[in-house]
Amino acid sequence: MRNCLFVVLLAGLISACTSSGKPDNIVVTFDVKNPTATEVVLVYHRTINSVPLNEQGYGADTISGVNALYANLFYGQNERKIYLEKGDRVHITFDGNDYVGTFKFEGEKAPVIDYLNTVTLTSLPDETYALPLNEYMQKVEQKEQEAYKLLNVRGLDGIGNFNKMEAARIHYSYGTGVVMYPMGHIMMTQDSTYRPDEAYYDTLRKYMVEDEDWLDMDEYRDFVVELSHILDTPNREVTDYYPKTVAQMRYIADNFKNERVKEVLLNSLAAEYVERFGIKNITDLENIYHTYVKDTVLLADYQDKYEKWNLSSPGKPSPDFQAADINGKSYSLADFKGKYLYIDLWATWCGPCQRELPFLKKLESKFEGKNITFLSLSIDHDKAKWEAKVKSGDLSGVQLLIGRGSSFQRAYNIEGIPRFLLLDKEGKIINNDMLRPSSDDTERILNTLEGI
């Protein structure tokens, strides 16, 4: 019965994808006999996509936003290579006890899958780096021609766009060795004085082809992005990750003519940087990105990675904190739920913070008895000075010491104080840069809060 239900649901999924004409996604279904794992894993474009299998070994996955992709399909520790294109409807079967031996790809591209899993590109020996550039390039060309011959013998013409894609993959895979040639030549010849001449850079420029069909291929995209650094003479020696990324984006924005290629490469650079390093101090990157990238799918991809770092955006649950009062009692955000929370991050040594204190005291008095708590979190590193200030009677509201450089401060990217925050009764962020108490609008805004 559950098998039938799965088939019905799957048929609905596929028909929904095709009801509006030519499908713009990829649907892959799995039928695993004797399942020994609860999922299969598709790895492509730095994406790891786990596809759950039910108790009978059935599973399905829909992939959108790509025209073509090379993927590695894992079952446990074992792997098969597959190639898919937009519109494909593919069924994959295997026995869980012998994944590699029983793997079967049902679809037009079955001969392609056989090719990918039986032919491996072989690299040139390291010793070839000792050759002069022209002789090294002859070896590269020879390797490429050998690979093209193996491809052409398979007779895969007419199976989607695979032949064009695979020819490019071969070309750019061997091109990686050309990028590494200067370093490899120095290592193999022990000639530390060697520097590549203009002929070398002219050779690289021949690889700088703008082709939309190749954008979904990692080998092409990664290669061209790296070329945008190597061919950028003024910034060629820049190695720190952020300035290098910005320089590459500027080079692509200024030199690429194909708008689609330009947008995808800029998105690739920006999204990868944000995913790895976060969103702090990236104004130059964002300026370039939002000037040139207009495609809504790319923007959504970038925004998704951005939001994973943007822990303090309005509507999100506030990052938590641990802070202590003057008696040493510890508090967290949970202790203040049920009321609106107006937070002041300050310190005794901060002049602007001190100037806000009388206004804060006055503001709190106006909301006495209402559904809001005024919480001051001190980032003082000198506990004694903070304690003295608390005991002075100059302060109002709840006074806690959170200390300098807390995870709470980092989550809100707070580098300057005073900084005011406004949270709702559930601890969600209303405003991550709230007006100061001295502002004429602060009282008005607080009075508009529902149930205050």
Each residue of 212-229: pLDDT tens digit? Answer: 999 999 999 999 999 999
Under a CB-based contact definition with an 8 Å cutoff, are residues 382 and 348 in contact? Answer: yes
Contacts 24+ apart (CB under 8 A), 7-13: 10/58, 10/60, 13/60, 13/62
- Residues paired with 29 in a beta bridge: 60, 91
Residue 53, phi-psi category: left (phi > 0), alpha (psi -120 to 50), beta (remainder): beta
Lowest mean pLDDT: which of 43-47, 71-75, 105-109, 433-437? Answer: 43-47
Residue 155, phi-psi category: left (phi > 0), alpha (psi -120 to 50), beta (remainder): left
**Mean pLDDT (whole number) for 41-48:** 88
pLDDT in tens, 273-282: 998 888 889 9
Angle, CA of 12, 16 and 20, to the nearest 5°: 155
Q: How many whole angstroms separate alpha carbon 143 and alpha carbon 139? A: 6
pLDDT at position 5: 38
Please indicate whether residue 440 or residue 373 has the higher confidence score (pLDDT).
Answer: 373
pLDDT at position 225: 96
Residue 448 has pLDDT above 50, yes or no: yes
Residue 11 has pLDDT above 50, yes or no: no
**Mean pLDDT (whole number) for 396-419:** 92
Q: How many whole angstroms separate alpha carbon 74 and alpha carbon 119? A: 18
Residue 4 has pLDDT above 60, yes or no: no
Residue 10 has pLDDT above 50, yes or no: no
Comparing CA positions, the residue from 367, 322, 379, 415 lying closest to residue 389 is 379
Average pLDDT, the chain: 93
Here the tokens at position 184 are 């490899």
pLDDT at position 15: 47
pLDDT at position 3: 47
Percent of the chain whose pLDDT exceeds 90: 86
pLDDT at position 331: 97
List, in order of start, the domains of the chain with CATH numbers. Answer: 2-110 (2.60.40), 322-447 (3.40.30.10)
**Mean pLDDT (whole number) for 291-315:** 90
Do the bridges between strand 68-75 and strand 78-85 make them parallel or antiparallel, or are there none, so unpaired?
antiparallel
**Mean pLDDT (whole number) for 95-112:** 96
pLDDT in tens, 141-188: 999 999 999 999 999 999 999 999 999 999 999 999 999 999 999 999
pLDDT at position 8: 41
pLDDT in tens, 357-406: 999 999 999 999 999 999 999 999 999 999 999 999 889 999 999 998 89
pLDDT at position 176: 96
Percent of the chain whose pLDDT exceeds 70: 95
Residue 12 has pLDDT above 90, yes or no: no
Number of residues assigned to the chain: 452
pLDDT in tens, 305-327: 998 888 778 899 999 999 999 99
pLDDT band at 17 (very low <50, low <70, confident <90, very high): very low
**Mean pLDDT (whole number) for 339-364:** 96
Residue 21, phi-psi category: left (phi > 0), alpha (psi -120 to 50), beta (remainder): left
Residue 244 has pLDDT above 90, yes or no: yes
pLDDT band at 6 (very low <50, low <70, confident <90, very high): very low
